Homo-oligomer: A and B are copies of this chain.
């Protein structure tokens, strides 16, 4: 005696409707908490929910999305997931999305323009309702995104300022970070300070440099241009490290004295530590080193890396919140305000800096 219709394992809305004695419409309205559910009797709601529960009903996302035109997903496009810089941002994004009905769909472009475009396409095909782009390194295709923006899709870029393309952006205050880095070294007593600037193409490089110069100017300090080097524009993810090693070796070979070094980012700083070691010196005894970012591994090296922290977690959160805000608007504005939101950096003291001996 087959009590249940032994057709299929799948429990549908209709099953719930039948068993609870209400129409599919009502069941749908109750279970999806549609506006109309205001009018459904409390008792009814309860009965429906209970039978849904007892049957183990799970709505079919595809049917739901097809009809309602909502995918309840947002795309997250990251330039290189193996870059530790990205990961903390991702966690911020995920954390913020968790309590919402939106699911992140994460794609990793592997530093590859082609893949970036491909995945962008894929995300569109999957009907994501919003897009968060995590761009750490070079990437000059506001173009692609502008196209989407016109399709009324909320977009935010984190880690890079693309407001000139009218796209909402979230970054750390790089200028302030550069300022803080210099200030820290200066206060320790350093005066002869070397700098390894970031790649010229990267906007951050200039901003951080500006900050350093501002502090120097305030103190009447002069940068000897021979103590200032610059990473090449290679977009290889570890080029920061390699560059750090080489430029540091060069600096030492040049016989110019310096008691401290500001590295463009943590990877470069680690490269500098290595370069120092290759020339028989150690940080911070022979030279203090300060990085930028505070990637997780900065705490794990020896010496621990003093660095300017980007609040990556919050950057991710904030970016996500901006997208969510737009999605929650029922109106027709539906666009992220195309401005830049700057988050303050902070100094993280570890062991790679100390007073000059």
A residues adjacent to B (C-beta < 8 A): 58-63, 65-66, 71, 81-82, 84, 87-88, 90-91, 94, 103, 105-106, 108, 110, 122, 124-127, 238, 241, 267, 270-271, 273-274, 277, 296-297, 300-304
Contact = CB atoms under 8 A, between A and B. Distances in A.
B94 A87 contact: no
B66 A62 contact: yes
Contacts of A94: 108
20 contacts: A58-B125, A59-B125, A60-B127, A61-B127, A66-B66, A81-B87, A81-B90, A82-B84, A82-B88, A84-B84, A84-B297, A91-B110, A94-B108, A238-B300, A270-B300, A274-B302, A277-B302, A297-B300, A297-B301, A302-B302
Contacts of A62: 62-63, 65-66, 71, 127
A82 B87 contact: yes
Q: Return the 7 tightest CB-CB contacts between A and B, nearest first.
A: A62-B66, A62-B65, A297-B297, A274-B302, A277-B302, A62-B62, A106-B106
Nearest to A122: B103
B82 A270 contact: no
B301 A301 contact: yes
Contacts of A63: 62, 66
Contacts of A273: 302
Contacts of A106: 106
A296 B65 contact: no
A108 B81 contact: no
A103 B104 CA distance: 13
A124 B127 CA distance: 19
A46 to B, nearest CB: 23
A96 to B, nearest CB: 13
Contact of A66 (B60, B267, B303): B60
Contacts of A108: 90-91, 94
Contacts of A88: 82
A87 B125 CA distance: 26
Nearest to A90: B81
Given A103-B105, A267-B300, A277-B302, 14 more contacts: A58-B125, A61-B125, A62-B63, A62-B66, A62-B71, A66-B66, A84-B297, A91-B110, A103-B122, A105-B105, A270-B302, A274-B300, A297-B297, A297-B301
Contacts of A105: 103, 105
A110 B65 CA distance: 28
Contacts of A103: 105, 122, 126
Nearest to A88: B82
Contacts of A125: 58-59, 61
A65 B270 CA distance: 48
Nearest to A67: B62
A8 to B, nearest CB: 10
A91 B106 CA distance: 12
A108 B304 CA distance: 27
A58 B58 CA distance: 28
